[in-house]
Each structure stands twice: as structure tokens, then as C-alpha cells.
Structure 1
Amino acid sequence: MKLTVLKEFLNESISHVSKAITSKTTIPILSGIKIDADTTGMTLTASDTDISIQSFIPMEKNDIRVIELKQSGSVVLPSKFFVEIIRKLPAQQIEIEVKDHFQTIIRSGSAEIQLMGLDPEEYPIMPGIEENRRVQIPSDLLKTMIKQTAFAVSTNEATPILTGILWTISDGKLKFTACDRHRLASRETNIDVDADFSLNNVSISGKTMNELSKILPDQNTLIDVVFADNQVLFKMSSILFYTRILDGTYPDTSKLIPQSFQTELAVGTQELADAIDRAYVLSREEKTNIVKLVMRDDQSIEVSSSSSELGKVTEELVVSRLNGELLRISFNSKYMLDALKVMDSAQVQIGFTGAMQPIIIRPDEESSLLQLILPYRTTN
């Protein structure tokens, strides 16, 4: 293999695929990036068995000559060195030449680097996926849905299924659900699918979804999402992102969500977040994260950190609406802050069915996004 490639394009491709590389792999060749070059362009591949990413660099882009190919071929280069070396090369033109026994020479400006490559024949083949179960989702919407749910997945590997975001599609609606037993986040949207297209029990690792989010374009580009038996493929213009579906059955979380409330309040999203954030400073120091909310009959609420040896934060907020029984309720302030951060409205509605029942947070007058957190029982 012998070619020259523009550094800017190679760097971008490397940054995409390197998200699939882990230092914990037990298969030595997976610590490398596979490079294939032919007359169509250059393909970079990286995988950790759970996710695989392919990025394609065309010969030309926007009338710019990106690659000059002298000889087709393939090689696997150790990512640890390849990623850093390419970033630090002095010139915009990079020459890559693979000699006998996969010895690879990289030249740029006055620099010449030799790397010992590996046999690309030993690299696992990308999974073959039939594209008969496919949906299209705008990239910016997918990014938003990941942001509004991924933080609520479980970090406890003892229940692997809860470390993922559950995808369900029915009646033309796509829904994401994430739950770690203490909180739940869900977001729903209409998508353009055949009336009989349905999907259930497809759970994709939250960590993987966050990595995908970093690659997704910000603009309103349609992304193809292809579902197979145990794999999902996300297709972008020059990137293929494969991920494994988590094993197991996702629990039915619909029973957790109350259909009616004993108490409801509406309050400014940012004002409540700021007040809880200030109370969080002391509650965090005590490692309890517990903040208390007390409702008053003058259409106000009091937010306070639990009394501690360090001191106490107390703040009063006027709410725009407060109906029902007045409650005193304690909750994990970090969970509440995470929920409020992803609200896309100036006001939030919070629903309560009792001091020890789930708290439901929604954007005001909008039902496609829902956050649930469980309250804490405190001695006082």
C-alpha cells in the first residue's frame, strides 16, 4: 500500500473511529486501527467487539484532491501511536507506505516514522446486516433524545440490561427509556415508519449511545438506523457505527409512572435548578446529596439542604402554580439537577402522589419528555 492523504481528513477519520478502541481488549489486533485503501478511497475501521466504527475518506471532496493512491492495500496500525503521531505531524500532506511484513513508513514534511503493522487478514470482519428493518431519524433529534435520557442509565454492571437505553417503536412513535431503579428518563417522538413497523426490547448501552452522540452531525441530517437480530447499525454519510444489542429483557417501567397526581406545581426551570444547585453544595459535601422541598400555602416553596454540621442552605421560591395537598419531600439533588438540565422549556411541571411516591418532572405543557425520581425517607 502506498498513498498520500491530507492530514485534516485523516485526523477527522481517526478521531471518529478511535471512539471504538478500548485499552481493556483481550484480542491484541483490536488495539489497532485497520486501514484499507483502494481506488474509491480510504476506509478506517476500529472495534472493541461491542461497537465497531468505520469511517470512509473519499479520493476527492468539494473539488479538493484528498488522496493520491499509488498502490492499493491494507494494514492494521497500533492506535496508541498512530493516533498521536498523525496529530503531531508537521505538514498537511502525509505519505503512508506499507512494505514487507507490514512495516509501515509515515512521512510528513521532514519527519519520517516507522511503525510495525499487523496482518489485516487477522482483523475481524464487520457484521453483515440485512437492511429490511430500517428507520430514519434526524441527527439533531437523535442527539437531543440521547442527551435527555442517557444520564439515567444504571452504572451497575450486575444488571447489564439497565445500563442501556430501551428503544421502542409502535404506532409511528419512537420512545427512549432509561432507568437505574432510582430514577427514570423517557422521551418520545413521532417518526415516519410503516404503520405495522414495531420494535420492542432493543436496549443499547448508554455509554455507546453517548459515543455515537459525539459523532452525529449537529445539523438536521437524516440518519439511517438498521435493526438486526443482535446488532444495530447507524449509517451516516461517511461513517458506519455498529453496536451490539444488550442481552436480556428490559423490565416494564410503565407501572412506575402515576397517571394522576395528588399535588402539582409549576415553577421556573432555571430558578429551581439554581436553588437546588446552591443547596447541593452542602449536601454534596456530606455525601448524601439530599435536599428538602417544603410547599407553603402562599404559593411558594422552600428548598433547603439537610441540616448538617457544616451549616444549612435555605431558599424560598415563588411558584406560578401549586394545586393539591402541601407536602414536605426529600430527594437526591443531583438526580433532580440532571433532570432539570435537559428540560427544554422555561417552566417545569412537577407532579407528586405522596411524600414517598415517585416525583414526575415534565416541561410545562409538553408531554413527550418525562423524568421520574424517587424521593428519600428522612428522619425529620
Structure 2
Amino acid sequence: MSEAARVVVGVSGGVDSSVAALLLRDAGVDVTGLFMQNWADDGSGECRAEEDRRDAVAVCGALGIPIRFRDFSREYWDGVFRHFLDEYAAGRTPNPDVLCNREIKFKHFLDAARELGADAIATGHYARVDHDGRVFRLLRAIDRGKDQSYFLHQLGQAQLSATRFPLGELRKDAVRALAAEHGLRTAEKKDSTGICFIGERDFREFLSRYLPAKTGEMRTPDGARIGEHPGVFYFTLGQREGLNIGGVRGRPQAPWFVVGKDVERNLLYVDQGHDSPWLQSRSLRSAAAHWVAGAPPAARFSCTAQTRYRQPDEACEVEVLGDGGLSVRFARPQRAVTPGQSVVLYDGDNCLGGAVIASTDAPVPETNPA
């Protein structure tokens, strides 16, 4: 791709996409900004889309580049949010950012960019793309604390061949310094956190609008009743917050953590101790895996893995099963490996791909009493 190529950059109204556009412009690229609206205002007053839109317009104006707009809220609802609700209803904990990247930012956004005559797209993600002479590779960013390859592992050759990540070689402090140096209004803007369509609002209140839940029993792994929960949908493995368990007679003064859920019986299982044995697993099974290169490196291989964002590398052995799923065995026990989340595989900085976690070998409450 030549330096004169036409590139559409996804401008979100944040500092990262602002600097991505700046860097492309200064490299002599023909740049157009595109602002995506992925969530329709639900009347809660929590949606920042209009504020972000104004900031995106201001940044593109300051950079002297055109800006276009697309509403992908229907596609987001059908391709991301319905899956999000279905997974929570089944007792799993989905990761909508992974699906959003696959279904919206590197599918519908890429299609829209091509309709505008672009040769490539760019985003403010912290990741890198290179070509090793055979395939395009998705690499971790230089700033490991900000690396987002975990959320991008569902991308393939078609997407990577048409994608630029201008921030992949930069650290976050350098990105903010560049924004300030060029007078961009997003230089000090706070990064968005959490799930994009929930924003800063209370997660439990938001989810209750779509998945009405009922109270049920909280039990220890061996079945002793500890209290009540407001709905199993609201909790995930390893969670401590929101349990509201006071002093329990005969139990030590130690924090409680979620160690299991039974959606059918509306039971939430809790145990004391951050490293409770009920949260430990050595292996997992996954749904069918996606491979960045188009195929796995081998039927069996060694690599490292992450089962959650910003987790340190964990050594593991991987077997590709007949149905395309994975059997992953770790070199040491892992805490709170959660069905519905993603296991993402790496060879050094090279992201090989990943899959949705289906099950683990962690003990199951009440079927294997402590």
C-alpha cells in the first residue's frame, strides 16, 4: 500500500483515533474520517454519542480532513447485542468488544470505507500488522499495557491486508503529547471504559431492562445457604463486588467470591478466598477457533495464552480438535477462567488467533463437595 493510498480512519471522538488520523495526514496519506454510531440513544442520558460526535467533527476540522457519518446501530443490535443478551441468559459472560471488532469495525466499517473509495481503513487500536512474506500477522503493540490484540484476534487476512494501526509503535503518553502539541481538543479527554453501550451507568440496572431476573439462593460449594442474590445473570466467576455478604456464623472474616452459577436452578455459588480451589482450572475446551493466518500452526503445539485482557502470558499446550475447537492445558493453574470469554493464543508478540471458552476442568459446586 503506497503512502498516497486513500485511507478512511474510524474517528470515535477520543484521543487515540484523533492521533491516528493526525499521523496518517502527516505521512501524506489521503485521509477521510468516519464517525460510527453503534448504539441508539436509549433515553437514559448516559449515551455519549453526541459529545463524541462533536469532538470527532472538531478534530477532523482542526486536521483539515473531511468527515463522514454512518449509523450502524441496527447492525450492532443484530450482530453484537443480541448475542450479548443470549450469552448472559445462558449463564455465560460474553466479551462484546471482540464481536464488535469482527462484526462492526472490520466488517461494516470496512465495507463503508470501500464505498467511499478507500484502499484501506485505520483505527486507534494499539496493535501492529506486518507481513512475514507469507501471511499478514497481527502483533501486539509496543505499549503492552495498552495492547488490544486480545480484542482483535478474530481478524483474518482480508481485514489485516486492508488495515493500518498507526498507534502500534507508540506509548499512550506519547499519543497524548502529540494531541496536545497539535492543539487537539481530545488531548486530555478521559478514555472510555467498560462496555460501550453501558458506559458509566450501573451494569445491573442496565441488564435488568433486557433480562428480568429474580432473587435466589447463594450457597457455598457444598450446598450451605449463605444468603440471597438479586439474579444470577448479574455475576461472573471471580467477582467479589455486589455480593453483600455480611458476617456469617462459623465462617472466618474473609471476602467472598463467585465460584459458580446454576441458571436453571437460579443458584449462585460463593466461597471465601481470592484463590479458592473452586476457581482454579488447569485446562479448558473452546468453541471452534479462529486463526489469523487462516489455519492453526499445527494440530498440537505449545504457545502462550490469555483468558482475559491484560493477563500475563501463560504457557500452555494446545490441541486442535476434530470440530475445530481447542483443548488447552496450562502449565500452572488458572484463576476464574470464564465460559463465554475468549482464550487468545500467542507466539511471542504474534497473535495466532483464539476462541470462545466453552468449559473448564474447575470443580463443579455440589457435585464434588469440598
Higher CA-based Rg: 1
Normalized against structure 1, the TM-score is what? 0.24
